[in-house]
Structure 1
Amino acid sequence: MSAAIIGRSQPKRHLMSAKHPLRIALVADTHNLLRPELLAFVEGADAIVHAGDICEKRVLDTLAAIAPLTAVRGNNDHGAWADALPVQTTVALGGVRLAVVHELPGLQGDPAADGMAAVVSGHSHRPALETREGVLYVNPGSAGPRRFRLPVSAAMLTIGSHGALDVEHVNLVA
């Protein structure tokens, strides 16, 4: 399933064939907390991807005012606003396709066969990065309340020329 980007009606650049590098802020598990550190982190991004557990629509509204936003519903997202979000989506940014899902075990399809460059997920609150069958799997960790003694984090996906991908996880709080 494919989703439109939520947010600015006139993005900074056309994101399908954007000039490179393109910076995509990856966020998950905000649980209704918009830390100033997160807002500063996403401010320079060309787009934002939120992998669920948003918990209130105002989080989406705030992020969408900063950069074009793609978001999926997490297991803690409820109500009419959340029902409008897909459980899984695909977005094309900078010439590469990303699959976005909250819980990785719920991923539908075969990302490699479907031509995905990366899969972005959340739920575990654990920052993670691995490559499987040529597909990059990224969990930015949780940008919301600290849980399970895990870092409060997000990630920046940089799409370079010819679709080269680079991911940097960032601890938002010491």
Structure 2
Amino acid sequence: MPLPHWTSENVLPPGRHPADLSDIYERFVWDAPHRNEREILFSALSGYLGVVCRLIPSGRAWIAGGLAVRSAEVPRDVDVVVIPDEWGALKRLDGPARSLFYGMFTLRGVIAEQPVTYLEQIQPVNGLVDGFLCHPGDEDVWEAAWSRGPVEGSVKGFAEVEW
């Protein structure tokens, strides 16, 4: 089912809209300005979700951020919150898979050694994806954040990919 058309505010209508990657491409890349930049973000999103789907047997991802707004500004990144269906699967990840999995999410306030460096934020896919993990029971918090429109008090929709 294709994503709904943009509203007059250049966002998706309020709500969670089921989509697959072809739907996301059609609305967020093809039907928006700055197609070249959006192509890069879409490729990052596609690769990101491919790795997440390999590590998590089933779940959902909510897609928002600059890619999900039809704006005159060039989008900088795509925001993704991953909602696993079964948390036990994450606990069963072995060492290399666990490291890969946790490397898929945005880190804030990172201190690295040799040489000592403070980084405000580290994002997956060279900063093109802002990835988050939704813990059980936090879906309402993430839905409220992903629904916040670009103008104070406005509401927007977002895409939901399920696997």
TM-score with structure 2 setting the length: 0.30
Asked which structure has the greater CA Rg, the reply is: 2
Work out which structure has the larger RCO, using CA pairs closer than 8 Å and 6 or more positions apart in sequence: 2
TM-score with structure 1 setting the length: 0.29
- Is the strand fraction higher in 1 or 2? 1
